[in-house]
Homo-oligomer: A and B are copies of this chain.
Amino acid sequence: MTDANLESDLVRDFHSVWHPCTPRRDQETNPPLLIERGEGVFLFDRAGNRYMDVISSWWVNLFGHNHPRLNAALQQQLAKVAHVMFAGVTHRPAIDLAGKLLSLAPPNLSRVYFSDNGSTSVEVALKMSLQYWLQVGRPEKKCFVHLSGGYHGETLGALSVCGLGLFRAPFEDVLMENVAVQGPDCYSCPFGLVPGSCQAECFGPMERALEEGAGRIAGVIVEPLVQGAAGMKMYPAVYLKKLQEAAARADVHTLYDEVAVGFGRTGSLFVAGTEGLRPTFLCLSKGITSGYLPLGATLTEETIFAAFDGDFASRRFFIHSHSYAANPLASAVACETLALLTEDDFLAGLRPKIAAIGAHRPRFEELPWCGEFRQTGMIAAVELVRDQKTREPFDPARRAGYAVYLEGLKRGLIMRPLGDVVYFLPPLVISLEEIEMMMNTARTCMIEALGK
């Protein structure tokens, strides 16, 4: 492929494609990478340049690109049937996937509802919760509590439980009215405590919201342990334990959005199930196909499912339908993904990798722009600040994170920070050597971008 062809493709892209989350003027100055192939944790552009996929292509990839077993699983299903509708019809990949998911999820969950992506997995949970309360005779329970900093997708229902102005602001007037609660903020703990030894002293606002609103609240939705889009904000499980107790007292559903943190990212397969955590709904997507194909799944309890029992005339059944629900190709890849995750003690094998990432903490903390180095399992983040002592942030116009990103591209890393939070969320198969390369190069990028 000649440079002229590359040029021509990028020109075509510039004039026809509208990319998500991309200011036009950034695209003018820094055209997108034209990625042609992938192998393991690396992506290759047309010129053959290699880039490490540090954020797993928006947090989806677990086993690297072009994985022989995932490719084979997809091809085997393709030889049978790519897709068939999921009403009046079922198929082995979906049945197997539902069974595997339930065997790995906490024991209170017994039903799997398939959809197409993370947003729809959340929309399904919100709608099931609303229809449940309606059908058990409590129609006044029709709002949701969500956390400041929460992100659960961007279809308008999912966006209505988002706690981030960046995503909500242009649509504020049309969003369903829900209840935003100040959530944990371990980076600037108002109690001066440290995660790991605290008792979620910050739980007060949530406790009050649930007590006062119990009669009208359907459920509370959280990203357990790590609030991704907020900038990989992390908080301890004790908050979730308190939430579980308070939600039970208030007779309110708990919705765990593990779209980003599920499938091993935190070191556990799911957060749900650890430490006795038992959400009413568990929303999954992203890693479910190891970053191959869109697929969503919403797991829930038998009590929820039972409230939808009835004959046709009762209209009590759940109608929400996507044409490609339980797509057999995606389901087949998901089954193989779960096989890979559960074979040969795979999750235990993450421990040295988690330790290797964590070993870089002091080397980042010694940088004058490191406000915090934080880590939960295979996810780590560096909060870049102008002044390490006062934690005064950079002027947003400085675009410190973006400057580090551009340095990364020069050095073979695709990082894509969230504002001024540079984070590491690599495919789980990243090797120890690749972890060294990733962390060392990222550190160099910070020095190059910010030290001048």
Chain B interface: which of A110-118, A231-239, A378-386, A428-436?
A110-118
Given contact pairs A84-B57, A311-B25, A329-B293, A119 touches B155 in the complex (Cβ within 8 A): yes
Given contact pairs A12-B99, A43-B84, A293-B324, A90 touches B156 in the complex (Cβ within 8 A): no
Residue numbers in B under 8 Å from A318 (CB-CB): 18, 20-21
Given contact pairs A154-B321, A320-B154, A323-B60, A86 touches B25 in the complex (Cβ within 8 A): no
Residue numbers in B under 8 Å from A30 (CB-CB): 88
Smallest CB-CB separation from A143: which chain B residue? B174
Complex contact A22–B87 (CB within 8 A):
yes
In the assembled complex, A127 has its CB within 8 A of some CB on chain B: yes
Residue numbers in B under 8 Å from A91 (CB-CB): 34-36
Contact partner of A170 among B87, B117, B130, CB < 8 A?
B130
Chain B interface: which of A75-83, A347-355, A440-448?
A75-83
Residue numbers in B under 8 Å from A159 (CB-CB): 157
Chain A stretch 81-109: residues in CB contact (< 8 A) with chain B = 81-92, 94-95, 98-99, 102
Residue numbers in B under 8 Å from A319 (CB-CB): 20-21, 154, 166-167
Contact partner of A156 among B99, B156, B293, CB < 8 A?
B156
In the assembled complex, A142 has its CB within 8 A of some CB on chain B: yes
Q: Which residues of A come within 8 Å of B, CB atoms?
A: 9-10, 12-13, 15-26, 30, 32-38, 43, 53, 55, 57-61, 65-66, 70-71, 74-75, 78-92, 94-95, 98-99, 102, 110-114, 116-120, 123, 126-127, 130-131, 134-135, 139, 142-143, 154-160, 166-167, 169-171, 173-176, 285-286, 291-294, 300, 305, 308-327, 329-330, 396-397, 399, 402, 405, 414, 416
11 additional A-B pairs beyond A83-B292, A156-B160, beta carbons within 8 Å, are A17-B326, A43-B81, A57-B323, A74-B78, A82-B291, A116-B294, A117-B324, A127-B170, A127-B171, A130-B171, A293-B324
User: What are the 6 tightest A-B residue pairs by CB atom distance, in nearest-first order?
Assistant: A156-B157, A294-B324, A38-B81, A20-B321, A155-B155, A58-B85
Q: Show 5 residue pairs from A and B whose CB-CB distance is below 8 angstroms, ordered by the A residue.
A: A13-B94, A20-B319, A21-B87, A74-B78, A293-B327
